[in-house]
Each structure stands twice: as structure tokens, then as C-alpha cells.
Structure 1
């Protein structure tokens, strides 16, 4: 099993460009697994952990409802935002500057073949990162992602998740609000949940965070939890 994982930070990227680049890596890994199976070879499959920030964009997962986007085409133009229907799970969410969007493109045969555990492990990495800053976070039963005050009426989400997995190769991932402009969430029903708030580290702490510092802590927690070697 290959536990080496190439870490890449794409910086501020257009969503379509990032999606195309993800698909290229994902399809290459799936193809290699197919070749290994049909030709009885054992070439190691690569793993990637990609971080980036996106220009303002709304994305709708396969199970989402288009009416959860509350803007028409003119509204999107005014907000300088784009909109995509994509092939991950989940409903609608927002990506933008000040948000760490993580795309682990992993062959889970190199780690563990359990998509439930995969999601819980990504959540745990975000929970541990928040704890580094004194923010107590956890899970909300019945929902994916990371939440604050999930056990009471103040429940608010700080990290959304939606993944695709084929032949145990993953793509898409998570969106972690660090310094994100939360006003953009008012233009959607976030993740299809209309009675819960969305928050960010900046809102909770009362100041902007150093994005590179948060990214460094997060990637190290992911590496530790998955027992991966970042290269």
C-alpha cells in the first residue's frame, strides 16, 4: 500500500479549472487501478491532498435541489458568482476566498475501504484544527460536516463536506470556513438545511486568521489521522 501523498496548494482557482484538474487526476488513478486488475500488475497508485480557495461559486450536488439557490442569473452576476451542478454527494454549498477547500484524491485501498470512516476522519481533522484555536466543535447526528453547538438551538456549521468515490478513489472533499464572507451563504439554503446557521473561524474568534497557518495545521492533522506521508 502506498501511503505517500503529494500535497499541493493551488491557491485561488476558478472552480471549473479545479474540477477539470481533479477529474484528470481522478480518472488517471481509476485507469491505473483498472490496468493493474486486468494485466495482473501491481503499480502503486498515487495519492493527492489538494488545498485551494475558489472565486465566488455555488455548487449543487447530485442529490441537491436547484431551488436551494436563491439567486437568478442576474443575481449571480451582481454577486460576481458562478454556479455549477456537479457529481459529488450532498446539496448546495458556497465556495469563496477565505475558505479552505480540500480535495483529497486518495486511493482508499492504500488506507482503508470505508467511506463512512473516511468522512468521519476528515471531520476529525477539522475538529482538531479548530481545537488548536480554542474552538470546540463536533458532529451533528444525521448530518455530515463539522458543527459548533450541535446539541442546542445555536447549532451552526463551520465545515461542509461532499465527496465522490469510485473504485475506492475519492474526489471533491470539504469546505472549511476560515475567513469566508458569510453573506454569500444567505443566497442559498446551505446543504439544504434551512433552519441552521453557518459560521467561520473569523466570526467565532473575532479576527482574521492566517490562512497559511490554518492550512498547515489542517494538513498535518489529516496526515496524522490517515497515517500518510506528505511529499
Structure 2
């Protein structure tokens, strides 16, 4: 079984994590490293994917500044989303040719990893036809957003954001993923209490390893 190298980055700015992803993606493309997973949190940040509509950021620049929310135009797929402490973010740097060479299948694999994590907490995670991510309560509430990018050399960046215990009011600043008729939720809200982020991270890493047939190994990041 191939190894999955896991780097914990703690809380890190979106742009700083993006720079790390790009460097690792180059190294993965050259075969200098194997499949790698970054696990982290972001400070309050709104990101716009390549399908985002600017009017889906509902708050004014002044309000965002007063709340300390950064806004970043990203190169990932998808629309507008929100990051904040208490949200578990995972960025796989994978060579897609070793995982079926199909972006749709890869995204389904990320969704499956989250569905299995939720099951461990007694929650039923679901897919919604025509939408990306993982939902609960018969598709009424989104608990995990997914947005990825595939480089010309076939290496993935960006990934998933699972709401463990973020301040959900931050999602009121945007139209999350361009969806107006469904809510956003978290593990803390659904369970009535928040599991430890470190515990959820361990479970997510294990499930990503199982779904993608990789053996996780945690290492310090040296760049």
C-alpha cells in the first residue's frame, strides 16, 4: 500500500496554505514526493471559486473588514464559501492517475470519506444530486463543502472543509456555494456538542486513507 504523507499546519492564512499547496503540487508532479495531505484551519476567510458570482458576497467590504474577514479569489472549482476556526480543512495533493484518472470519481471519494466520518458520530451523511459536498437531514443542511483543482500535470489541490464547530453566522455573509434554499450546519449543531477537532481530523485522515488505499503517516512539513 502506498504511503499518504500527512502534514498538520494548524491555523494558517488561506493564501499561505495555497502557496504551500502549489509548491507541493510541483514536487508531486515531478515525482519528488508521494501523495500528500494538508490538514489545517483557516482564520475567517471568504473564497471565490472559478464559478463564483461577486454578488454572492452579501456583506460590504467595510463590514468584512470590521469582522476581520479576508476575501480571496481562488483557482479552485465551485462558488463562494466561508472558512473559519472550528472548520476542519483538508487539502489532498494527489496524482490523479493513481486514483482512477477521473475527477468526478475523486470528488465522490472525498465525499465518501466525510460520509464515513459522520457515520462514526451517528450522523447520516448524504449526497444531493447535481450538487457537490456532503449534507445531512435529508439534504436540508450542508456540513461539508468540496472544491478542487486539477493541474495540467494531473495533480489535485484544494479539497474539503468540514464544519466541526465554526461560528455558523459567518455563512450569513455569503450565499454559500450559490445555494439559497438549503442551510449550513456543523457537527456541533447536529450532535448538540462539539467533538474535538483533533479527534475528527484523525478520523478523517484514516477514512481518506481507506477510501484511496493509502497508509497515512504524519510528518512535519519541511519547506
Partner residue, 1:37: none
Contact map agreement 1:29 1:46 (CA 8 A) in 2: yes
Q: Decide which of 121, 124, 129 is 1:133's aligned counterpart.
A: 121
Residue matched to 1:57: 45
Question: Do residues 178 (structure 1) and 164 (structure 2) align?
Answer: yes
Contact residue 49 and residue 73 of structure 2 kept, 8 A: yes
Give 1:44 shift: 6.5
Distance 1:63 1:111 in 2: 25
Corresponding position of 1:39: none
Equivalent residues of 1:139, 1:150 under 8 A apart: no
What is the TM-score of this pair, normalised by structure 2?
0.93
- Counterpart of 2:71 in structure 1 is 83
Aligned partner (choices 163, 168, 175) of residue 148 of structure 2: 163
Instruction: State the distance in 2 between where 1:5 and 1:199 align.
Output: 29
Asked if the contact 1:92–1:189 (Cα under 8 Å) also holds between the matched residues in 2, the reply is: yes
CA distance in 1, matches of 2:99, 2:214: 8
- Residue 47 of structure 1: CA displacement? 1.2
Mark the CA change 1:71 to 1:186 in structure 2 (over 3 Å): closer, same or farther: same
Q: Is the 8 A contact 2:148 2:159 kept in 1?
A: yes
Q: Give yes or no for the alignment of 1:115 onto 2:95.
A: no
For this pair of structures, how many residues does the alignment match?
A: 216
Contact 1:3-1:111 at 8 Å conserved across structures: no
Partner Cα distance (1:94, 1:101) in 2: 11
Q: Does 1:191 align with 2:177?
A: yes
Contact 1:45 1:107 in 2 (8 A): no
Q: Does 1:208 align with 2:194?
A: yes
2:3 aligned with 1:4, yes or no? yes
Which consecutive unaligned segments of at least 5 residues does structure 2 have?
Answer: 218-223
- 1:213 & 1:75 partners in 2: Cα distance? 34
Moved over 6 A (4+): none
Of 130, 133, 136, the match for 1:145: 133
Bigger-Rg structure (1/2): 1
Which sits farther off after the overlay, 142-151 or 170-179?
Answer: 142-151
Gaps of 5+ in 1: 33-42
Match status 1:13 vs 2:12:
yes
Deviations 1:193-226, CA, capped at 9 Å, x for gaps: 0111000000001112111111111110110111
